[in-house]
Structure 1
């Protein structure tokens, strides 16, 4: 397979053809917005200016109605309303955890639903967004992975998650007031439902909008894309997005990683690490985050910790240790606190940051690996999950 070819698992990952009717301006990059405005009667000489005006209203002020775009003439606003819409996903439910984490179930075209999580922290707030309906990777420790893949999200559906979160947080500034530097939503992580690099173009276009300095204006260093290891797309991510990179690593041998993260059977640990070594140089990112979920008796020994240190030598890195977030039917148990601390100490002594992630939103099933849309939450039995993962009931 060519390294430049789109990477997909099956035809269902391709977004369905959009229904005919008004065009949604959300999710269009500036050049695409310019093209559709010209196609629908905007004079070519005015198009760049009009894009700038509309962009500000949508992505700085958060407006959804053309009538409110007061620096445009009434006739032009009427013409826009005839041909275009400004639409974001619909919030179906919102849950708020005891720790302040918010989980949104949002509905997109076709009646599908995905989950979005906002995690407040001191001095910052992180939004965990989804890139696919369901997931194709079937990682055996991940609840999201037990939901079958339906389709990729469009750029509008991806950036729309950011917009609905800002709606709920009341973070769109009032017209005429300066942008506030202290943001409630300061970071984005592509760690929700789906594998972002199986929807590369949709994710790229949405993140370009998020990073646009005259709109939502998030620095590329405040956006982290998490992949399970779609090796051919990693270099493209460095070149075309340039955001921070996180890797769902989770094991130090191919035998174990094959079971935990089945994509390893296609691109093994050695191939993945080769791609990661080149990433910081190309994207100018400071370091790569290795995500490592701690599974009792599976990947949490001292030997695993020492192997991990050897494997990542030469890669600017930090290792996020993630206590396993259990879910109904999960075939694993969380490593003990003492085991996690011992593992972290070995990594720290080797010179790497090894923060232990504090589980957030567990009471509303919003923690890492727990996302799964309510309409497709039919639970498999523990025995089914174990059989698919190729593991024993004692894992």
Structure 2
């Protein structure tokens, strides 16, 4: 990668180089274990002109999202987060049965099912056929498509402009950030609203959340770089909320530039926090790679010591972030016997690169391991409740990020 995908600058500085890994959602079948597996460099850089952090577009969205292993509804807390958002958006924007809501990357209907329940007309735009089909099974109208200016214009032509366009956990997944933003503008009414949730680069850096760096995340946003990205498609940021999802995210409220008005004080407050942390200059990124290396050393030291002592360690969850962590640390089945996941799609498959078996969650109670390594650490509260029974036999939970913690 030689130029910034947002501003075109050639001034890209290294933040952290995680080596080469396979795409994090390419879970292997047993038949694929004896086949070659492609890996791609995973090197995060930041543009010193617009401050967009980014990795090279070595895989395409079509490679990842045509058939997708992630179903949002398997996280109870995420579904509840979506329900709370819908309730708040209806009140904030005065949505009614006359309104129209579009969600981009609507997955399995985890959010729009709550819009349907309120009697509001809606449409999901979801590129993955398998999860889109699950949404339609819940009664959520879903178009199988990637968003760009043409798709946005076609949806607007057929269904009318949207009063609210939602884009949760997708703004990082698009290598053509300008075209995608133009698609959002094409969807939304001239006086409508766009709500975007995306992980905040501030918490990623401050809390060592480097495992959220993977190939389907093409860029990582501060509010400052998000403002510039939105402006590239004719949208203006008018408000921002800090939300706890995914270890710390920003909810961006934007409107068409001509209807936006002045941004709220919360925008300037978060911009000031980012500037104080040094994220609008190179100094804020200087120690990140060293802290990442310590996370790796600490996890490996724990796993090796447990193996030397004859202790059993298994994993909980098979999220994309977990595969970045396992590959970067070089963890194999000799140190992590298996992991489990609530998603039946993954059962009987193996983690990409590290080739650790993925089993059903019930296996933990059957085997009574000494330690359970929690890979989706961002769902700590929810998973700690789900795994409370592990303490019945003296087992303990292990959280690797932001620092190794055994509870």
Asked if TM exceeds 0.5, the reply is: no
Greater share of strand: 2
The two structures have a TM-score, normalised by structure 2, of 0.27
TM-score, normalization by structure 1: 0.27
